[in-house]
Amino acid sequence: MFQSILMMGGLGIAIGTVLVIASKAFYVYEDPKVVAIDDVLPGANCGGCGFPGCNANAQAVVDGESDVNSCVAAGSDVAMAIAQIMGVSVSDKEPEFAGSGCYYGNVDADLTYLYRGVKDCRAAVMLMGGMKVCRIGCLGLGTCVTACKFGALAIGKDGLPKVDQEKCTGCGACEKICPKNIIRLTSVTRRILREYTTEDCVTPCQRACPSGINIKEYVRLIKEGDYHGSLQVIKERMPFPSVISRICPALCEFDCRRLLQDESVGINDLKRFVCDYEMNQDKRIQPYKAPPSGKKIAVIGGGVEGLSAAYFSARLGHDPTVFETSDRLGGILRVAIARDRLSPDVLDWDIQGIADLGVKMETSREAGKDFTIPELLGAGFDAVFIATGGWDSRLARGGGDVAATVFPGAYLLIDLFRSASDEKIVVDCKKKVVIAGGGNGLIHALEILKSKGVENITVVSRKNSKDSSFDSEVVEKLTREGVTIIYNTGITKVMGEDKSLTAIEYVDLDTGEKHILDTDTLIIGAGRFPELVFIPLAGKEKEKEKDEEKDEELVTTGVDIKLPLAWEGVELQKKPDANREHGLLSQQDVISEYSSAVAAINGGRQAASAMHHLIYGIEFADPVKMISKLSVLQGVQLLNHVPNTPRNILDIAASREERKDKFSTGFSLSVAHDEANRCLKCGLVCYEKSKLS
């Protein structure tokens, strides 16, 4: 008995010793901040924060990888509690919610279904590519509903998911599980930055619109009498709605699906109706904005593109300022369109709407004369975009008597030619000159540059040597003069320090390999400056090296030595129309002036998107899936059960004076509703069934 007790006691001591040693060896430290934050979080483990569960998000907050307000399932009180634990402040976060990208289920769509009893969207895609002829549209089986942890989704009577925005937390669970990418998170920022892809159910008219306005939706809202909502949809992508409703070439109407049956819907006339409704109410209906970001944006040029870039930047939450050379804003819209077609009152109304969003506007401020891009960057602007217009814009505002230079060391080839015969046109070329493009004018350019004492000249050509427009005599003469020609190349970036250009980056259009070329002058063979976004470079390594070198001097002299400001100018994102679209002077670049104001507006939106990406270091989305002119998309070749209805035509004014009325609605209320009813509310390969029996 005694021996048993002694044995058990010894065994207990041994086990206790082992446990003590194990507790020391395998002890896992729990950060009290992580524990405290995990206790505050709701425990939904929805993954909307981007981390696998609340505990992982708590750890990410402590590690600085996640924001204190990153939990999408919690309210502001939770964010405040986490901020208190971390000892930081809370910033506003733009709300996100789920939205469906498909319009019709089997109830309303004129579309053939291939239903075979499969009850899960993912299985339907794996087994037969879907359950409808449309390879993009929603399958309607409700897999996204089962994934939602907050009861914010339900399948409606039309077979499509319906989102309750009050319950939706933007966690993204539905987006992750949808095999067709139909239901996605959306927000003001996402919609502005979005480029339409081949995976989107985008209507033919919307694809044809250079600005990408959701035409089907704003026409539907006009039909329902919701003019406020209709304007909100238009202004998602349109800062000049009243102007464009008068001068737009209406490319959307050429692709309207009703043309397969009778006449296109009066899309632009309906836009004019609802925009004039707003003006006659004299009450501004503004689009939604993201919370303030604290980022400052500068836009050089107060024309259509420049004002549009500022408009979209303001809606992204940034603080934009427009610098215009002339004393009036509006560019070509102000000086080159007949007054009976576009009255100044309408233009001023739209420009004031942009100003009301918080866009600052400074006139009579010329780049290169009153300020420089490095000076703007040094003054605290986080990005600068140049939208100076073309050669014709300069002539229109009386600016053709001097050589234009927007960023340091850059000039237009046309100004170089003019400098040879007009001493007032000064092109300050230094020792190393790069000419982008130039064609058969290169010989003349070479003579002028040599007369200016230029020692080193490099020509950058987008074409291969065999396809080049340079004839053999030109190439031979350039070679004799010591000129270097780099073929098959596009300039992707310019770089500089303070008021000097120091280098360009160029890419081999076949291999994608990038190179740096030192230069101090860039001559551009186009009628306008390229669309570039300039940002300051952090230059941390360079500053660190210089700081180490100057530390001792600073200590002994007490002098504050200012380091040079390094900067770079980056091209905008290109669509994949071909494999050779990278770099300046590609087929997608505007080399003189935009073909239409509505195209310039989209250029401004793309510039705002580029600035937003570059400021935050966000990579551009994969351009391969972006819709381009070469994209092959599903469509409709025949309409079924659609009755013929004639298009409603705007009444022609009896005299030119009558067309100068301040704000004419064009359509009457009843006619506008009749015309809106003609819209088929298309999907990709579907449209609304006729209600006629």
Provide, rounded to the nearest whole percent, the portion of the chain with pLDDT above 90.
36
Q: Are strands 383-386 and 296-300 parallel, antiparallel or unpaired?
A: parallel
Per-residue confidence (pLDDT) for residue 507, from 0 to 100 = 92
CA angle in degrees (0–180, nearest 5) for 207-211-214 = 60
Per-residue model confidence (pLDDT) at position 38:
76
* Distance, CA of 225 to chain centre: 31
Strand partners, 132: 113
**In Å, how far from its chain's centre is CA 155?**
32
Residues in the chain: 693
- Quick: pLDDT tens for 592-617: 788 889 999 999 999 999 999 999 88
H helices present in 316-425, as ranges: 332-335, 344-356, 373-378, 391-396, 413-419
pLDDT at res. 408: 92
Whole-number percent of the chain with pLDDT over 70:
78
CA distance 231 to 346: 16
Helix ranges restricted to H, 68-120 = 76-86
- For residues 264, 269, 274, 279, the Cα torsion angle rounded to the nearest 10 degrees is 170
- As a whole number, mean pLDDT of residues 418-441 equals 86
Instruction: Give 266 or 336, the one with higher predicted confidence.
Output: 266
| Average pLDDT of the residues in 505-534 | 92
User: What pairs with residue 626 in β-bridges?
Assistant: 197
Residue 74 or residue 435, greater confidence: 435
Is the pLDDT confidence value at 203 over 70? yes
What is the per-residue pLDDT for 77? 67
Residue type, 92: D
Calculate the alpha carbon distances from 354 to 193, 308, 382 in Å: 18, 8, 21
**Other Cβ atoms within 10 Å of 192 Cβ, number:** 20
Burial class, 130, CB count within 10 angstroms (exposed 0-12 / middle 13-18 / buried 19+) = buried
CB atoms < 10 A from the CB of 167, how many?
12
Q: 371-408 b/e with 16+ CB inside 10 Å = b?
A: bbbbebbeeebbbbbbbbbbbebbebbebbebbbbbbb
Q: Checking DSSP bridges between strand 432-436 and strand 410-412, what pairing results, if any?
A: unpaired
The confidence score (pLDDT) of residue 73 equals: 63
**Lowest-pLDDT range of 27-41, 109-123, 268-282, 364-378:** 109-123
Q: How far is CA 137 from CA 100, 198, 632, in A?
A: 10, 12, 16
Strand segments (E) across 315-448: 319-323, 360-362, 383-386, 410-412, 432-436
Q: What are phi and psi of 489, to 5 degrees?
A: -140, 145
CA distance 116 to 88: 55
CATH 3.30.70.100 matches 408-528: no
Q: What CATH number matches the domain at 289-400+590-621, 3.50.50.60, 1.10.3720.10, 3.40.50.300, 3.30.565.10?
A: 3.50.50.60
∠ CA(459), CA(465), CA(468), 5° rounding? 75
Residue range 435-461: mean pLDDT, rounded: 87
Going by C-alpha positions, the residue among 146, 147, 171, 184 that lies closest to residue 53 is 171
Cβ atoms within 10 Å of 648's Cβ, excluding its own: 22
Report residue 584 as tokens: 């300046």
Whole-angstrom Cα distance, residue 365 to residue 363?
A: 5
Q: Which of 407, 429, 434, 432 is nearest to 419 (CA)?
A: 429
Across all residues in the chain, what is the average pLDDT? 82
The model's confidence at residue 546, banded by pLDDT at 50, 70 and 90, is very low
Residue 557 has pLDDT above 80, yes or no: no
User: How many H-runs (helices) and E-runs (strands) does the chain carry?
Assistant: 25, 18
The topology (CATH level 3) of 94-186 is Alpha-Beta Plaits (3.30.70)
Helix-strand-coil split of the chain, %, nearest 5: 35, 15, 50
> Which residues lie across from 435 on neighbouring strands?
459, 523
- 473-510: pLDDT as tens digits: 777 877 888 889 898 999 999 999 999 999 999 999 88
> How far is CA 195 from each of CA 211, 387, 527, 600, rounded to the nearest angstrom?
10, 21, 27, 16
Query: Angle at Cα 101 formed by Cα 639 and Cα 51, nearest 5°?
Result: 160
Q: What is the dihedral of CA 17, 19, 20, 25, to 10 degrees?
A: 120
Position 658 pLDDT exceeds 70? no
What pLDDT, on the 0 to 100 scale, is given for residue 36? 78
Other CB atoms within a 10 A radius of the CB of residue 617 amount to 7
Q: Topology of domain 188-287+634-693, per CATH? A: Fumarate Reductase Iron-sulfur Protein; Chain B, domain 2 (1.10.1060)
Give just the sign of the alpha carbon dihedral 514, 517, 523, 528: positive
- How many Cβ atoms sit within 10 Å of the Cβ of residue 152? 22
| pLDDT over 60 at 249, yes or no | yes
In the predicted structure, residue 214 carries a pLDDT above the cut 90: yes
3-state secondary structure 265-297: CCHHHHHHHHHHHHHHHCCCCCCCCCCCCCCEE
Quick one: tokens of 645? 């209805």
The sign one gets for the Cα dihedral 198, 219, 191, 46 is negative
What is the third-level CATH fold of 31-92?
3-methyladenine DNA Glycosylase II; Chain A, domain 3 (1.10.15)
Task: Give Rg (Cα) of the chain.
Answer: 31
Q: Does residue 254 surpass a pLDDT of 70?
A: yes
Tens of pLDDT along 103-126? 666 667 776 555 566 677 787 777
Write out pLDDT tens, residues 358-398.
Answer: 999 999 998 888 999 999 999 999 999 999 887 666 666 66
Burial status of residue 658 (CB atoms within 10 A of its CB: 0-12, 13-18, 19 or more): exposed
Residue with tokens 């004002």: 307
